[in-house]
Amino acid sequence: METFARKAVKEVRQTMMQSRSRFWSWLTGPAILALLLAGWLCVGCGGGGGATELLYQTDWTNRGRAVTGLSQRVRLYTASNQLVQTLVMNQDANGMQGLTIPASGSGVYRLYVELYSQRDLLGVRTGVLETLVTLSGRTTFLSAVGEDPTMVKVTPESASVKVQHSRQYYAAGYSGANRAVFVEDEAFEWSALGGVASVNETGIALGLTPGSGTIRATHSDTGHQGSGLITVDPFQATQTKWTVMVFLNAANDLYTFSTLNVNQMESVAQNPDVRFVVQWKQSQSVWPSSSFDGTRRYLVKPDTTSSIASELIQDMGPGVDMGQASTLLDFVNWTKTYYPADRYVLVVWNHGNGWRRKPEDTLPTRAVSYDDETGNAIQTWQLSQAIGNNVLDIIAWDASLMQMLEVAYELQDRAQLIVGSEESPPGEGYPYDLIFGEFRDSPDASTVTLSKAFVDGMLAVPAYQTRKITQSVLDTSKLPALGASVSALASQLIANVGSIGTEIQTVRTQAKSYSPSAFRVYRDLYHVCELIESLIGIPGIQTAAADVRAKIADAVVWEGHNVNSLNSHGISIDFSSSGTYAGVATDYAQLRFAQETMWNEWLSVAP
């Protein structure tokens, strides 16, 4: 046997000198055994020193049986889920083939391999192989195509998490101790034993209570099982001065800006008394270029690079619908429980353009937080239940067209201040570094004082100077009086509707509008009242309009706009004609503003 091994090694050297591809074609059957005996191959282990790299090998000998295919996409990721490299392997030999992936250093990596029915990743995906690998020097990993699993291995073999923190486990089938095989998608069923953790259908375990337990994977077809240990440590919640909750729903065409905004948060996260907690969703099924797939909860950490350096607290996996009010409420409650603070900011990040037009829509819909994966959105009349019994210090809309009286009225009991834009702001949204740099530097300043940073920040971005920029801060304690004043104006307009038709149409045409369309008739409320006073000479109407302007002045704490949005004063309102309003009257009637004022009655008869 020793002579056979030496002879094989000599042939290896000669073959490698002639051709690398010939070497991989030659490397089959007895040659593998010889190299193992000679110490040239170490399946599933590292060694040799020098640069860190993964030698990935596949045995095609049994192709045509079990889960089979003709090409593979091989991906290697770092422990922080950064892609190292993607390579494609086509079946060019009946035995062993391999490829090498250089790595950045020793450590744990994730290997993810997809098997396709045709060459060049064509046809259908027939199987997957996913596992953690520990790289040290040159490490070899062996897989096989067309073989059934006889055992299951779970990685990591053991892990520790804190309560309410998650850890991803992976299951892979093996036909031998160090010979991984391909299985079909969703081939494993997961279960958690010991009562200290839960695990979802993709292997993400969540710590529930301190203690030790087991995460088990069962291969559905064969019943083979593998398991990993989990230790759940206590989590000690600490009180800070501010917690900024960011409900970042990037499962839509705004996903390209989400990383930018998290990077901005990281750049101002140096003060431990001002922390950011982010629930961030992306959907690669709808937007394939998204940087990840699913929903994650992060505790933002200081960093000035373009990478995401924040701590991943929970990987919530697929299936989270961020277009549901209950999902927002769960995030708010969870954050307040585990990251308590003296004061809270909630930022809702998404489309919120008042009207959301899609090809399949027959009517426009008022909503925010559009989840393109589920097709759902949080309706305006659901906003109060989305906050629940919580009373926050600031609710800010990093979304379009949300600073409307109808929207603010829903939340008047749920926040001290409401921040947002009458306009459709740039897709880049809030400059989080400029805004929350003020919170970082002066966390003890009053809430009203700090809220001005939203207005100042939006006006300070050089790239926004050519865009339509508005931003305002509303004092919710002043909204009931403003609503009553608007209702009184509606009564005067209704009483005189027969004689003011031409003037009202002129007001609608001349008043400052925001992203106007056939359905969207949003106008600056202050400017509307100014025009009413100047165009309609009826004393009762003029007095009522002047009172609305006075109440707006009381309610708007801070307001700013650039030269592209003149005649903006901080709050808008629906100023539709009765014909336009008729199509959405049922929806509008669900709003608290409609139920407590006469504005809907005015819209139903407005010329």
Tell me the pLDDT band of 15, cut-offs 50, 70 and 90. Answer: very low
Weakest-pLDDT range from 40-54, 192-206, 427-441, 533-547: 40-54
Asked if the model's pLDDT at residue 9 lies above 60, the reply is no
pLDDT tens-digit profile of 105-159?
Answer: 999 999 999 999 999 999 999 999 999 999 999 999 999 999 999 999 999 999 9
For the residues 272-288, what does the mean pLDDT come to? 96
Weakest-pLDDT range from 46-60, 141-155, 326-340, 499-513: 46-60
Q: Is 18 exposed, middle or buried (0-12, 13-18, 19+ CB in 10 A)?
A: exposed
Tell me the pLDDT band of 2, cut-offs 50, 70 and 90. Answer: very low
| Ranges in the chain annotated CATH 2.60.40.10 | 150-234
Asked if the model's pLDDT at residue 365 lies above 80, the reply is no
Could you say which architecture CATH assigns to the domain 42-147?
Answer: Sandwich (2.60)
Asked if the model's pLDDT at residue 298 lies above 60, the reply is yes
Tell me the pLDDT band of 536, cut-offs 50, 70 and 90. Answer: very high
Q: Please name the fold of domain 150-234.
A: Immunoglobulin-like (2.60.40)
pLDDT at 253: 92
- Which two tokens mark 589? 């009637």
For the residues 443-461, what does the mean pLDDT come to? 98
Q: How many CA atoms lie within 13 A of 113 on its CB side?
A: 31
- Which two tokens mark 260? 């930018």
Tell me the pLDDT band of 49, cut-offs 50, 70 and 90. Answer: low
Asked if the model's pLDDT at residue 541 lies above 60, the reply is yes
CA–CA distance, 203 with 35 (Å, rounded to integer): 36
Weakest-pLDDT range from 13-27, 157-171, 342-356, 363-377: 13-27
For the residues 69-93, what does the mean pLDDT come to? 95
Asked if the model's pLDDT at residue 526 lies above 80, the reply is yes
Asked if the model's pLDDT at residue 48 lies above 70, the reply is no
CA–CA distance, 138 with 51 (Å, rounded to integer): 7
Mean of pLDDT over the chain: 91
Residue that has been written with the tokens 């490490």 in this structure: 139
407 CB-near residues (< 8 Å, 6+ apart): 380, 383, 397, 420
Asked if the model's pLDDT at residue 20 lies above 70, the reply is no
Asked if the model's pLDDT at residue 279 lies above 60, the reply is yes
Asked if the model's pLDDT at residue 71 lies above 70, the reply is yes
Q: Any idea what the Cα angle at residue 585 is, between residues 584 and 588, rounded to 5°?
A: 85
pLDDT at 80: 86
Asked if the model's pLDDT at residue 440 lies above 50, the reply is yes
Asked if the model's pLDDT at residue 325 lies above 70, the reply is yes
In three-state secondary structure terms, 151 is: strand
pLDDT at 40: 39
For the residues 409-428, what does the mean pLDDT come to? 96
Q: Is the separation of the CB atoms in 92 and 21 below 8 Å? A: yes
For the residues 361-383, what does the mean pLDDT come to? 80
pLDDT at 366: 59
Asked if the model's pLDDT at residue 43 lies above 70, the reply is no
pLDDT at 230: 98
| Ranges in the chain annotated CATH 3.40.50 | 240-475
pLDDT at 261: 98
Percent of the chain with pLDDT over 90: 86
For the residues 514-543, what does the mean pLDDT come to? 96
- Which contiguous run of DSSP H or E holds residue 454? helix 447-459
| Of residues 93, 74, 92, 94, the one with CA closest to residue 84 | 74
Asked if the model's pLDDT at residue 8 lies above 70, the reply is no
Q: Is the separation of the CB atoms in 308 and 248 below 8 Å? A: no
Model pTM score: 0.88
Weakest-pLDDT range from 11-25, 325-339, 369-383: 11-25
- Is CATH 3.40.50 what the domain over 240-475 is classified as, yes or no? yes
Please report the DSSP string for 516-585 in residue order: --SS--EEEHHHHHHHHHHH---HHHHHHHHHHHHHHHHHEEEEEE-GGGTT--S-EEE---HHHHGGGH
Asked if the model's pLDDT at residue 22 lies above 90, the reply is no
E strand spans, 91-199:
96-102, 107-116, 125-135, 138-144, 151-155, 158-162, 166-168, 170-176, 179-181, 188-193, 197-199
For the residues 201-219, what does the mean pLDDT come to? 98
For the residues 391-397, what does the mean pLDDT come to? 98
Asked if the model's pLDDT at residue 282 lies above 50, the reply is yes
